[in-house]
Amino acid sequence: MSTETLRARLRLPGLDATNGVWPALAVALIVGGTLVALDGGSLFSESSTISLLQRAAGLGIVAVGQTIAILAGSLDLSVAYVISLTSLVAAETMAGSDGMVLPAILLVLVVSAVIGLVNGLLITKLRINAFIATLGVGLLIKGYLEQGYAGPAGSVPVSFQHLGYDRLGPVPLSFLLFAAVAAAVWFTLRSTRYGHHLIATGGDLDVARLSGVRTDRVLIRTHVICSLCAGIAGLYLASRLGAGAPRVGAEGGYDLESIAAVVLGGTVLAGGRGGVTGTVGGVLLLAVIDGVFNQLEVDSFFKQMVRGVVIVAAVAVYALRLRRTSDRRKAAVA
């Protein structure tokens, strides 16, 4: 057996050597933990761990959806508004009644799936650039929200708030939901035809099409799933807030932040390379940075700057690596 085969066999899912997000996370934990400890706090206390995981959950669910959109060579800028909209749909449908929880969940899933379908159709059938198509759909939703809502609306029954507040030991239920979504998508990418076709579509649309992949369907399906993830995040936020909030998505910056998490996780923006495990790392990294700065009570502007630096640095490192490996490949041929 060649070493190549061995390596391929031994490789853990997504934890390949090219993924730098895990070492970065370790560094962030060590450095951040030390800083917080010097400040007299603890990054690893139960309360801060819980809030860290909770922060990760909301963004994480969106980012998993964003991962497959980007892997497929697309992207979704409407997720932030989908989150706001679905939080309202959930809270208003439930209207404080336990009996309406299930119908509300179903309605949210339908609404988000339809938005994803529209995104997908605009991109594949009308051949509108994904950036513009999803931005347009997002703005459309934004307009609707601003027109119809001045502030929080609807109310979530206590029974549904368990999702936002319950936990198993130190692990919030919401984080488990994130882990489940991530695992489901990971498995889909690895072991279903759709998953293989998705990565192929992102890798090279023409190659995929000429090999018999129905790339339009793949892209539409991907956008539906991506939107569904945003819908699930909307449900989570509604249960957390106890009501629907028309600006929760945009204010949380879920659109760009989810893209940042995906990129930090090593998924290439052009598509075709990367995966969900990296995104999980990216989400955790962003959450840790957040947690550290919250504990240190640092100015939020400074926090934003640090995140910016981290993201740019990460992408620079990936780009550098990519160039090195391609150089090495050229040199190997030479």
Partner 1 sequence: MQPDSDQPLLRMRGVGKAFFGVRVLDDVDLDLHPGQVHALVGENGAGKSTLMKIASGVYQPDAGTLELSGKPVTLPHPRAAQAAGIGIIHQEFNLLPERTVAENVFLGREPLRRGLVDRRAMHARTAELLAGVGETAIAPQTRVGRLGVAQQQVVEIVKALALDARVLIMDEPTASLAEHEVELLYNLVRRLQQRGIGILYVSHRLTEVFDLSGRITVLKDGRRVTTLDTAEATPDTLVRHMVGRELSHYFPERAAPGSAGAARLQLAAAGNGRLRPVDLELRSGEVLGIGGLQGSGRSALARAVFGIDGFRTGQMLLDGVPVRVRSPRQAVRAGIAYVTEDRKGEGLALSQSVLDNALLAQRAVQPRWFARAARTTTVRELLDAVEVHAAGTGQEIRYLSGGNQQKVILARWLAMKPRVLLFDEPTRGIDVGAKAAIHDLIRRLADDGAAVLMISSELPELIGMSDRIVVMRDGAIAGELPAGASEEAVMGLATGAATSTEVPA
Strands (E) in 185-225, as ranges, are: none
Q: Does 199 bind partner 1 (CB under 8 A)?
A: yes
Residue appearing with tokens 């938005």:
115
Q: Does 217 bind partner 1 (CB under 8 A)?
A: no
CA dist., res. 48 & res. 54, Å (int): 10
Q: Does 272 bind partner 1 (CB under 8 A)?
A: yes
Residue 91 near residue 291 (C-beta atoms within 8 A): no
Cβ closest to partner 1, residue 69 vs residue 79: 69
CA dist., res. 21 & res. 168, Å (int): 27
Longest distance between any two alpha carbons in the chain, whole Å: 70
Query: What residues pair up with 171 in beta bridges, in sequence order?
Result: 168
The helix or strand, by DSSP H or E, that contains position 172, with its residue range, turns out to be strand 171-172
Taking residues 31 to 70 in sequence order and writing x for each that binds partner 1 by CB under 8 A, - otherwise, the string is ----------------------------------------
Residue 155 near residue 94 (C-beta atoms within 8 A): yes
CA dist., res. 250 & res. 198, Å (int): 28
Q: Does 195 bind partner 1 (CB under 8 A)?
A: yes
Among 37, 95, 106, 207, binds partner 1 (CB under 8 A): 207
The token duo for 231 is: 């819908």
Among 4, 150, 169, 301, binds partner 1 (CB under 8 A): 4
Q: Does 221 bind partner 1 (CB under 8 A)?
A: no
Cβ closest to partner 1, residue 38 vs residue 334: 334
Cβ closest to partner 1, residue 168 vs residue 210: 210
> What's the closest the beta carbon of residue 33 comes to partner 1, in angstroms?
35
Cβ closest to partner 1, residue 169 vs residue 212: 212
How many angstroms from the chain centroid is the CA of residue 236? 14
- List residues near partner 1 by CB under 8 A: 1-2, 4-5, 8-9, 190-193, 195-197, 199-200, 203-204, 206-208, 210-213, 272-273, 329, 331, 333-334
